[in-house]
Structure 1
Amino acid sequence: MKILNITSITELRGGDAQMYTVYKLLKEKSELKQYILCPHNSILAAICKNDNAIFFTYKKNKFKLFNLTVAIVKICKKESINIVHIHDSSALNAGLIALKFLKKCTSLILSRKRNNKIKDKFLNRYKYSHPKIQKIVCVSKAVEDIFDKIIPNKERLITIYDAINVEEFTHKSNQNLLHREFNFSPETKIVGNIAGLTNQKDIYTFIDTAKKIKTNNETNYPIKFIVIGDGPLKKDLIKYAKAASLENDLFFTGFRSTIDLLPEFDVFLLTSITEGLPLTIYEAFASKIPVVSTKAGGIPEVIVDGKTGFLASIKDTETLSKRVLEILENPDLEENIKTNAFQLVKQNHDLNVMQKNYYDFYKSVS
């Protein structure tokens, strides 16, 4: 069986990162041969080149739809591709056009990570309900739900949860990198988030929650707040934090490698409006960091309120702040949540689980 993975994204987003993770996990399966097609100037292309992966590129210019369609047709014919696996909605357009020029036995599947609402319009119903799409792989049940009014045949939907290398995070220890960088006192507790600075992540609610935590802090510890990530809202968010009198308490680090910084968090506070199911939650679980989060998207599928973390309604700063302080004030509760969350991620969201799930899935696609 030969599989062509296709993306039209030039940045390295979560979907492409996980696609490449699956590609590496299945390389050892001799009965599956995988290929990648991506823009010539993409980050993924550079990674593939460095790793000697089997990949092709196309030029993403004003003729990008035509270029990608032609590339798909040429590769599928030359390599006798059985499965065209599309990893973003823009590439889906090219994939559907390309199938008109390929053998009927070529299957098309689509992966979807985000639970952003799909408008109930004719073109969307036609596109996502296209008979050539054999399966749509969703990252959570919440992502499946966005197709409720778009796809009549729900049997085409399947959820395969993402995964991480749990052991890689488990063995990381707290190096106090943030404490040293920002000159925090040793007893300072850190409440942190890892997110792109976009509307979807709603860092404004993180800031509002931080202000309430600071006001209501009756613990024996000072509390500081860290946001790791970058994005178009950075200047506005810094201004908003300053207006909330948090300029000495809340710090934006910019983009960082997070695996060494996560162990320093005392609570992971996620305030998103929409999510498929972010890998950062799995990473926090594996790092044994308790998570307090909004109920965005698929998050309630892994956070059981009071057992593997705490949940609050979107923008509910009152509940979010109370839960963070509750964890910091109650070591037994904190330990119980960390233990339960670690067991969940180890059992259900380690790479070996995802490897088996995708292997079984590909073998089931006719």
Structure 2
Amino acid sequence: MLLPETLKVHDVSKFEFHYIYFLPWKNQMVDAIEKSGGKVTCFSAKNNLSLLFQFAKVNAYCKEHKIQIIHAHLPWAGVLARIVGRISGIKVLYTEHNNFDKYHFLTRLLSKLTYQWQTKVLAVSEDAKVALEKHNLFHDIVYVPNGVNTSFFSKKKKFEKLEHVEQFVANDKVIGTVAVFRKQKRLDIFIEVAHLAQQKKLPFKFLMVGDGPEMEMIKGLTAQYQLQNVLLAGLQESPVDFMCYMDIFLITSDFEGLPVALLEAMSMEIVPFCTEVGGIPNVVKNTQNGVLLTSQEPEDILFALVQKSINESANFETMKKNARATVENHYSIQRMVNQLESIYTEVLNHG
């Protein structure tokens, strides 16, 4: 929910925000953006490749609404934005969320062919920035880490009570994740950890919020193992209602940028247990505000969960407080918005 949360903080007396998306089923944020004052349009595409053929509609929209900056997120939208910018002369900013080397060959190729057709690149993690610099793709790359609304993402705030989740959780520790269920997330490992925990009769419950291409695999493993300790909540308009039940936020990914969901969880005093990838080690300091996992083996992950959350319970409580303090001090949404607006102003004034 980063876009609507950011919009609430932006100075709308200086900037007017329009949002274009292309995959119609990814409309979970539309209502929230519109309620915050944003203008949302969908130019429907079936997949990433067909998305590129929407450039004429996007170009016409930008002309009609006198758009001065296009700020694109995600690789294929970035390629489209750069094509429109090339045609129209509109300045283009692109936020790189992941390590460039991890993308599909075709995604990298199209990105390389168009990367010079933009004004500035924003990298959400040092890992993403270094990967771009290694390829010498662009001359002006700025580190702009994600931020979250710490006032909203707080254990002190009252969220909707979910009876079915409360019954599922009982008195156990809840290990959760909020994600798009893609292959890179390695949610098969998440399920294997849950399977081991059930076999060992450990006091853990596993709460998964989201959907995506890997959902059928997850459902298959859950049924195969007859898991009673896993709740698949599906895609939710308000994931925070589920996050407030979590004690641990488990990331088992092969690669990441700087996950917004991780920062949101930490802001809610949910202790992160994460693979040591992407921008995560910049945020999570081992045993101080979370746990960095040096192995993706389910047995090793489960051992760390038991050791750090049960056997070292006093430090676990300390890590909760430190996790929130980290986000408050370094990853607030106000800091991010200030940096973004400074960049927008610079680009408009100087190009």
Q: TM-score, normalised by structure 2?
A: 0.82
Q: Structure 1, residues 93-126: CA drift from partner, whole Å, max 9, x if none?
A: 33333334434xx422112223362449765433
Which of 251, 267, 270 is the aligned partner of 2:231?
251
**Hey, what does 1:9 align to over in structure 2?**
none
- The aligned residue for residue 268 of structure 1 is 249
**Which runs of structure 2 are paired with 1:212-223 in the superposition (5 Å)?**
212-214=196-198, 222-223=203-204
Q: Does 1:231 align with 2:212?
A: yes
Relative to 1, partners in 2 of residues 1:57 and 1:358: Cα closer, same or farther, differing over 3 Å? same
Matches for 1:106-255 after TM superposition, within 5 Å = 106-115=90-99, 117-118=102-103, 119=105, 123-128=110-115, 130=116, 132-153=117-138, 155-170=139-154, 171-172=156-157, 177-178=163-164, 180-182=166-168, 184-185=169-170, 187-214=171-198, 222-244=203-225, 246-255=226-235
Question: Among 10, 13, 18, which residue is 1:35 paired with?
Answer: 18
Asked whether the 8 Å contact 2:287–2:319 carries over to 1, the reply is yes
SS at structure 2 position matched to 1:147? helix
- Alpha-carbon spacing, 1:56–1:343, altered in 2? closer, same or farther (3 Å): same
Distance in 2, matches of 1:268 and 1:67, equals 37
Amino acid at match of 1:82: Q
**SS in structure 1 opposite 2:273?**
strand
Tell me the equivalent position of 2:69: 83
Cα contact 2:7–2:38 (8 A) shared by 1: no
Unaligned runs of 5+ in 1: 1-16
* 2:152 aligned partner, one-letter code: E
Alignment-derived partner of residue 338 in structure 1: 320
For the Cα contact (< 8 Å) 1:137–1:159, is it kept in 2?
A: yes
- Structure 1 segments, 4+ long, off by >6 Å, are none
Residue from 65, 81, 87 that aligns with 1:95: 81
Please list, as runs of the form range in 1=range in 2, the aligned pairs for 1:322-333 lying within 5 A after superposition: 322-326=303-307, 327-333=309-315
How far has the Cα of 1:303 moved from its partner?
0.6
Count of aligned residue pairs for this structure pair? 337
Conservation of the 8 A alpha-carbon contact between 1:22 and 1:358: no
Q: Matches of 1:70 and 1:211 in 2, distance apart?
A: 48
Residue in 2 that maps onto 1:360: 342
Matches within 5 A, 1:297-336: 297-313=278-294, 315-326=296-307, 327-336=309-318
Supply the distance in 2 between the matched residues of 1:40 and 1:216 (Cα, whole angstroms): 42
8 Å Cα contact 2:83-2:114 kept in structure 1: no
Identity of aligned residues (%): 21
Q: RMSD of aligned C-alpha atoms? A: 3.2
CA distance in 2, matches of 1:63, 1:124: 16
Query: Compared with structure 1, are the counterparts of its residues 58 and 173 closer, same or farther at alpha carbon in structure 2 (3 Å cutoff)?
Result: closer
What is the CA–CA distance in structure 1 between the aligned matches of 2:271 and 2:77, rounded to whole Å? Answer: 37
Structure 1 position 242, deviation (Å): 4.1
Equivalent position amino acid for 2:17 in 1? Q
Shift of 1:298: 1.5
Letter in 2 for 1:108: V
Q: Which amino acid aligns with 1:252?
A: L
Q: Is the 8 A contact 2:112 2:137 kept in 1?
A: no
The 3 A distance-change label for structure 1 pair 364 and 315 is same
Show structure 2 runs of 5+ residues with no match.
none
